[in-house]
Amino acid sequence: MKTVLHKANSRGHADHGWLNAYHSFSFAGFYDPSRVQFGALRVLNDDTVAGGMGFGMHPHDNMEIITIPLEGKLEHKDSMGNSGVINKGEIQVMSAGTGVHHSEKNRDAREQVKLLQIWVFPDSKNVEPRYDQKAFDLNASKNSLVNVVSPMGDNDGLNIHQHAWFHLGKLDKDFSTTYELKDKTNGVYAFVIDGDVIINGEKLSSRDGLGISETDKLDIRTNSEAEILLMEVPMN
């Protein structure tokens, strides 16, 4: 088993006033050659956007983009004609493919928005751009790992162009579970959204990240109420 530990306070940080961003992997002005990616996982940004502010129209291509609001309302518009609001409890996926422009804005003028934005390298280049979003009730599925992202054609969760699976879980204190990898050649990057957990013997706290590869399962135990995100991705 191989592991890489990214403690919350070791992440890249940029405070632009309207945007307070933490980067688990090299991004924008933060570059660490040991933290460019974890397999197909390229970006994990933990963003707080001030009221009424946001990202104007900007381009992407050949990337699978997953957005998970943690607090507030995020307004989305794109060059495919999609527009709407993503709320906490919903997840958005966008396949940039041959190219797409989109904007993301805090819908509320007073309250901040907190979100995770994740980029995953696709398994096919220059696909037709696509967009989807879906609500997941984690409270109704407490103490389970809910499949929120899956490969194209899989019936569970939202689909992306990659042999990858994401799971979210809201877990009670002193809860134990095991996550078995869908593909034993993949790795899993575990990100603790909130709480204290132990994964394969490693103690993790809020916003810590742990990449694990060359194993077939993760043993998870909570030391408090916790919320975790597991991202299983190809390592090659």
- Taking only the tens place, the pLDDT of each residue in 215-236 is 999 999 999 999 999 999 999 9
pTM of the shown model: 0.97
Query: Of all residues in the chain, what percent carry a pLDDT higher than 90?
Result: 98
Tell me the per-residue pLDDT of 61-82, one tens digit each, with 9 for 90 and over: 999 999 999 999 999 999 999 9
CATH 2.40.30.10 for the 12-135 domain, yes or no: no
Place of tokens 């609500």: 135
Taking the domains of the chain in order of start, what are their residue ranges? 12-135, 146-234
Tell me the C-alpha distance between 211 and 77, whole Å. 32
What is the longest distance spanned by two Cα atoms in the chain?
A: 47
The pairing of strands 73-78 and 100-106 is: antiparallel
- State yes or no: pLDDT of 155 exceeds 90: no
d(Cα 3, Cα 5) in Å, to the nearest integer?
7
* Residue 87 backbone class (left: φ over 0; alpha: ψ -120 to 50; beta: rest): beta
User: What is the structure's pLDDT at 50?
Assistant: 98
What six digits make up the tokens of 182? 């869908």
pLDDT tens digits for 179-195?
A: 999 999 999 999 999 99
Domains 12-135 and 146-234 are alike in CATH topology: yes
Domain covering 146-234 in this structure, CATH number = 2.60.120.10
CB 160, CB 234: distance < 8 Å: no
* Cβ atoms of 157 and 150 closer than 8 Å: yes
Tell me the mean pLDDT in the region 93-112.
97
Mean pLDDT of the chain: 97
Give residue 156's pLDDT: 85
Report helix, strand or coil for 10: helix
**Cα 53 to Cα 166: distance, rounded to the nearest angstrom:** 28
Burial class of 125 by CB neighbour count within 10 A (0 to 12, 13 to 18, 19+): exposed
